[in-house]
C-alpha cells in the first residue's frame, strides 16, 4: 500500500546490539514508500556499519556534526528541517538520558534538540537490558522525555543478548512500522471506544468435534488495526483464530457463541461503536457429549438436536445505549448468493444503521475482499481490494456517520 509514501524519516541509531534490527527496519520503511536518512552515533557504529545502512537507505549516512558535506556545515539543522519524523531505533538508556539533559555534543542528540518541536515529532524505540529498563533512573527519564514531547513506543519482552529474559527488547521492525503508520493516520475516531467481534465460533459436539465455519478473522482484525490507527480504544472479542493481535488492541479470546455473547456484554457498556464481523454459528448442539461420540458399526449416524444461538448483534442494537444514540452498531453478512437482497433484509431484521455484506466463500481465509455497505438510504460498493485497504475505508465511513 506504500502507507508511508511521501514521508521522509530520519532514522537515528544509538549504541546497542539491537542495531541489527535497524537494517530490516530501514528496508521496511522504504518498502512502505518512505525516504530514510540514517544518522548514527559513534557507539552505533560498533554494532553495524554505516556502509550497511547506506546500502539499504540509498543515502549517505551521517555521523558527525562537523560533516563538511553540508554547504553551511549545519547537518543538525538541515536534517531535522527536512524530516517528517525522527525515529531513534534503537534508543539506548544513555541516549534517553542525553535527551533529558538536552545534551548536544554529537549529531543525533543535537538534531533531536534542534528539531522544530511543533512540526517534527520525535519517536523513541527503547532497547536495553531488563535491569536497565526497570531502573528508577531510566523510568524517571522516560517520564521526563515524554513530557518534553517525545513519543515512547514501548518495548518488547523476551530473550536478551546478555542471556537474560525480560522487558527491554526493542520492538520488531514490523511493529515499529505499524506504530509509525498509526502515528501519521488521521485520528477520526479519537476518544471513541470500539468493540469488534472477529472470526468464527466453535460449538462443541463432544470433546474433539464441533460446528464452526471458515471465517479466518482477518477482516475483523484489519478493522481493529484501522480503528486503533484512527485513535480509538479498541477491544476485539475473537473466536478460535490464529491472527496476530495488532499493536495497541486488547484481545479477548472465546470459543462458543455463548462465550462471545458474555464477553460482548461485559465490554459493550463502555463502547461507542460496535462492529460485529464475527461469523457466529446460528445453532449449537442442545447437549454436548462429555466423551467422544464413537461409531458403533451399524452405519447409523447419531441423532443430534440443536438450539438457536443468541443474536449478539440484534441484542446490542436494542441495548439502552444504542437506543439513546450512544452506541453505533455495524453488522456483517457473509452470504453465498443474492448479497444485496439478503444484506438489506438482515439490516432491517437486526435493527442496525449499517450492514456490511460480502460473499463468504469468496473471502474466507483470503487477504482481499469486496464489501457492500447497506444503510437506510441504499447501498454502496467497496470494490475488491486488500482487507487492509477495505478496513481503512470502512472506518472512515463509520467515522463520518458518528455524531460530532
| In a shared domain, residues 72 and 18 | yes
Confidence of residue 302 (pLDDT cuts 50, 70, 90): confident
Residue 93 burial class via C-beta count within 10 angstroms: exposed 0-12, middle 13-18, buried 19 and up: buried
Structural domain range at position 112 = 8-184
Provide the percentage of residues in the chain whose pLDDT is more than 70: 100
364 pLDDT above the threshold of 90? no
1 pLDDT above the threshold of 80? no
68 pLDDT above the threshold of 90? no
Neighbouring C-alpha atoms within 13 Å toward the C-beta of 22: 36
| In a shared domain, residues 233 and 378 | yes
pLDDT of 148-161, one tens digit each?
999 999 999 999 99
pLDDT of 73-83, one tens digit each?
899 999 999 99
| In a shared domain, residues 234 and 379 | yes
pLDDT of residue 249: 97
| In a shared domain, residues 88 and 140 | yes
The CATH number covering residue 268 comes to 3.40.50.10300
71 pLDDT above the threshold of 90? no
Asked if the structure places residue 2 within a domain, the reply is no
Domain termination site, one of 184, 208, 229: 184
| In a shared domain, residues 120 and 224 | no
pLDDT of 108-149, one tens digit each?
999 999 999 999 999 999 999 999 999 999 999 999 999 999
What is the mean predicted confidence (pLDDT) over 296-319? 92
| In a shared domain, residues 43 and 147 | yes
pLDDT of residue 206: 94
Domain termination site, one of 159, 184, 209: 184
Tell me, yes or no, if the pTM score tops 0.75. Answer: yes
pLDDT of 219-244, one tens digit each?
999 999 999 999 999 999 999 999 99
pLDDT of residue 299: 81
Asked if the structure places residue 215 within a domain, the reply is yes
Count of domains observed in the chain: 2
Asked if the structure places residue 1 within a domain, the reply is no
| In a shared domain, residues 381 and 308 | yes
| In a shared domain, residues 276 and 373 | yes
Q: Is 162 a catalytic residue?
A: yes
What is the mean predicted confidence (pLDDT) over 51-62? 97
335 pLDDT above the threshold of 80? yes
Amino acid at each position: 500500500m506504500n502507507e508511508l509514501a511521501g514521508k521522509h524519516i530520519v532514522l537515528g541509531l544509538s549504541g546497542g546490539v539491537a542495531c541489527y534490527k535497524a537494517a530490516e527496519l530501514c528496508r521496511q520503511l522504504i518498502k512502505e514508500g518512505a525516504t530514510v536518512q540514517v544518522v548514527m552515533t559513534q557507539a552505533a557504529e560498533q554494532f553495524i556499519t554505516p556502509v550497511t545502512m547506506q546500502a539499504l537507505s540509498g543515502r549517505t549516512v551521517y555521523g558527525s556534526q562537523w560533516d563538511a558535506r553540508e554547504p553551511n556545515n549545519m547537518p543538525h539543522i538541515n536534517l531535522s528541517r527536512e524530516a517528517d519524523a525522527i525515529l531513534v531505533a534503537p534508543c539506548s538508556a544513555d541516549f534517553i538520558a542525553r535527551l533529558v539533559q538536552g545534551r548536544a555534543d554529537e549529531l543525533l542528540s543535537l538534531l533531536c534538540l534542534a528539531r522544530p518541536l511543533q512540526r517534527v515529532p520525535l519517536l523513541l524505540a527503547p532497547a536495553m537490558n531488563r535491569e536497565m529498563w526497570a531502573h528508577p533512573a531510566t523510568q524517571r527519564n522516560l517520564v521526563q522525555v515524554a513530557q518534553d514531547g517525545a513519543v515512547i513506543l514501548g518495548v518488547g519482552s523476551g530473550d536478551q543478548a546478555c542471556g537474560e529474559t525480560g522487558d527491554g527488547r526493542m520492538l520488531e521492525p514490523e511493529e515499529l512500522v505499524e506504530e509509525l503508520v498509526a502515528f501519521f493516520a488521521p485520528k477520526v475516531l479519537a476518544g471513541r471506544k470500539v468493540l469488534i467481534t472477529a472470526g468464527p465460533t466453535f460449538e462443541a459436539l463432544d470433546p474433539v468435534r464441533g460446528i464452526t465455519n471458515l471465517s479466518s478473522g482477518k477482516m475483523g482484525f484489519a478493522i481493529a488495526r484501522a480503528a486503533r490507527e484512527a485513535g480509538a480504544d479498541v477491544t476485539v472479542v475473537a473466536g478460535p483464530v490464529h491472527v496476530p493481535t495488532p499493536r495497541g488492541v486488547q484481545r479477548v479470546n472465546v470459543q462458543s457463541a455463548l462465550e462471545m455473547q458474555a464477553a460482548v456484554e461485559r465490554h459493550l457498556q463502555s463502547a461507542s461503536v460496535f462492529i460485529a464481523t464475527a461469523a457466529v454459528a446460528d445453532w449449537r448442539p442442545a447437549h454436548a457429549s462429555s466423551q467422544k461420540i464413537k461409531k458403533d458399526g451399524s452405519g447409523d449416524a447419531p441423532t443430534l438436536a440443536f438450539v438457536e444461538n443468541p443474536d449478539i448483534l440484534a441484542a446490542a442494537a436494542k441495548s439502552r445505549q444504542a437506543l439513546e444514540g450512544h452506541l453505533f452498531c455495524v453488522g456483517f453478512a457473509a452470504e453465498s448468493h443474492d448479497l444485496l437482497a439478503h444484506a438489506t433484509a438482515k439490516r432491517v431484521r437486526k435493527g442496525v444503521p449499517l450492514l456490511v455484506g460480502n460473499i463468504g466463500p469468496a473471502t474466507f481465509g483470503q487477504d482481499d475482499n469486496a464489501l457492500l455497505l447497506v444503510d437506510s438510504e441504499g447501498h454502496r460498493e467497496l470494490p475488491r481490494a486488500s482487507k487492509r485497504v477495505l478496513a481503512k475505508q470502512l472506518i472512515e465511513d463509520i467515522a463520518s456517520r458518528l455524531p460530532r
